[in-house]
Amino acid sequence: MAVDYPCLNAAWQTLGDIYTLLQVVGGVQKPLRAEPDNIVSTGVSLSKPESLVPLAVGLCVAFVYTQVIELIGLLFAKAARVKSKKVEQFVAAWCEAIYFSIQIFISLRLFWDAQWFWPSGWAFAMDDGRKGFATNGVDGIPPDHATRDMRAYYVCEFGYYAAMFLIIFTKKRKKDFWEMVFHHVVTSFLISLSYTFWHHRIGVIVMLLHNAFDPWLNIAKCAHYLFSGPLHAIADVSFGLGAVIFLISRLIMYPIAIYFAWFHASPVAGESLWEALLEEWVLKLLLCFLYPIHIFWFVLILKVAKKALVGGAVQGDERSDSEDEPDDKKSR
């Protein structure tokens, strides 16, 4: 007698979607088009295996993936003779630099040709969720849908932030520990909720705007721990570029994305802005909650930039100095 195991089936399908994503990223096949055989669509409920299991799989995959990157970073740190007191900080920066660089590449590989991916098409992108992005009456494509490679990208991104939320409690506390905890909680909830209610395209845009800054900051950190003398300029240049990208992506472009999400995403034909559903209000508010953290971090970035101008080089990252680091060491 055949026995149906919905959770196992959903997990196996998710792994298959991640394999498809890897093929797309590797150039073996093109990004999937929105056709009946290439989409995933389920009822809106986190209790359903088709919704909950992929998030769990994404968490497991992201955890293993980041641990492998950290191991490689640890081996590299030892080979490069990074000071023992700085190895943990170097490895953390290495992991984030590699992860976010890969994520940016994947998002560009998947969505480069999509009209909604670029700012000129953001209003179009917000025709998502129950509005039914780009269905246009195509047979076999329901309003709430995503291509399988997009879904795989989405759950792996959720997995990273969820994994980092767990891992952060095992590391030494930094100056912005509670801000990071809040950021990971809000981001994980935002990704999982937007995933569940089919606001994938808005989510992809928000992810890219957030990811754009991180490689530059962490490359600056790695260079700071690796180099001295003339080569330390790599850290200074990378940090400077990161500061400009942070300003543009998170303080200028991100509010524009929030605007489109507020005024284009939730109202369907014949409804006013105030007739949005509860989950749509929650998503909008979560998007807004992240912005004050960005302002806080940008102030810290400016402090580092000020120190660099006075001292002649980037001496550290205000966001990431350990709270237990001696004050006299910080002042050097």
Q: Which two tokens stand for residue 70?
A: 């950290």
Neighbours of 219 (CB within 10 A): 24
State residue 218 phi and psi, 5-degree precision.
-80, -30
pLDDT per position in the chain (332 positions), as tens? Answer: 344 677 888 899 999 999 999 999 999 999 998 888 888 876 545 445 567 889 999 999 999 999 999 999 999 999 999 998 899 899 999 999 999 999 999 999 999 998 889 988 887 766 777 776 655 545 667 777 888 999 999 999 999 999 988 888 887 777 778 878 888 888 888 998 888 888 888 899 999 999 999 999 999 999 999 998 889 899 999 999 999 999 999 999 999 999 888 887 766 666 667 777 888 888 889 899 889 989 999 998 998 888 877 765 555 555 444 444 444 443 33
DSSP output for 72-127? HHHHHHHHTT--GGGHHHHHHHHHHHHHHHHHHHHHHHHHTT-GGGSGGGHHHHT-
Give counts: helices (H), strands (E), the chain. 12, 2
Tens digits of residue pLDDT in 30-72: 999 888 888 887 654 544 556 788 999 999 999 999 999 999 9
Taking the C-alpha atoms of residue 43 and residue 6, their distance in angstroms, rounded to an integer, is 14
| pLDDT tens-digit series, residues 224-236 | 999 988 898 999 9
Q: Is residue 320 within 8 Å of 168, Cβ to Cβ?
A: no
Look up residue 158 and give its two tokens. Answer: 């959720």
pLDDT of res. 4: 60
Residue that the structure tokens 């994994």 belong to = 163
Left if phi > 0, otherwise alpha if psi is -120 to 50, otherwise beta: which for 312?
left
For the chain, first and last CA: distance in Å? 73
Q: Phi-psi category of 81—alpha, beta or left, where left has phi over 0 and alpha has psi -120 to 50?
A: left
Residue 235 burial (10 A CB sphere; 0-12, 13-18, 19+) = buried
